[in-house]
Amino acid sequence: MGSAQRLYEGVDLGSEGTEGVINYMRTDSVRVEMEAITEARKLIKGVYGNEFLPEKPKMYSSKKSAQDAHEAIRPTNLNHPPEKIKNHLSIDQYKVYILIWRRFLASQMNPAIYDTVSCEIATDKNLTLRASGSIIKFQGFLAVYQEKEDSDDREVKKKEEDRLLPPVEEGQVLNLLDVESTQSFTKPPPRFTEASLVKELEKSGIGRPSTYASIMN
């Protein structure tokens, strides 16, 4: 919150002076002014191309409980991409800024397109192995922003990776690289991370974006 506050209050951008690079961040609204959406669409078209741009601007509905006095959190000036102003930001400020930048652009881009695939693999041991997952056909907003599982659990991370399959064709000969035998045990629910705790607070209607940090402390 401290890094976000400094980005909002103003950052010294050298010859360009001091400028607030994000708008007011203590908000849970998803509403964005049309002027900012138009600028985002112009940038997406120029950098990524027409296929990444929806026909119409994307509009999102805030939850009934949201405080809608302020816009959604977004960059104030799209002429300041993260790489351009990186040298003027601390490491934490840069991480917060690049997250806001990417999520804002991604929110105005076309969705990703996957082919869902199920492979049956015949072996020389009279066993049939099965793999199910997806093959990505079109990156869409993933070209800008990809959300990862906020977990230290290796099994969760491995499952995420296994959902994406490499391109395969019927009749293709596969080489066996490794065989792994594992035993599964029932595990207790994982401990809260900061992100999952905020999600739980939000679901339970406890606190607001401006109070999450102090609640966690």
What is the distance between the alpha carbons of residues 20 and 9, in angstroms, rounded to a whole number?
Answer: 5
What is the distance between the alpha carbons of residues 49 and 191, in angstroms, rounded to a whole number?
Answer: 42
**Six-digit token pair at 145?**
């922003």
What is the distance between the alpha carbons of residues 113 and 135, in angstroms, rounded to a whole number?
Answer: 9
DSSP string, 104-157: HHHTTSPPPEEEEEEEEEE-TTS-EEEEEEEEEEE-GGGGT---------HHHH
Q: Say whether 60 is catalytic.
A: no
Tell me which of 8, 24, 94, 212 is the catalytic residue: 24
Place of tokens 């930048």: 101
| Angle at which helices 91-106 and 2-9 cross, to 10° | 80
The set of catalytic residues is 24
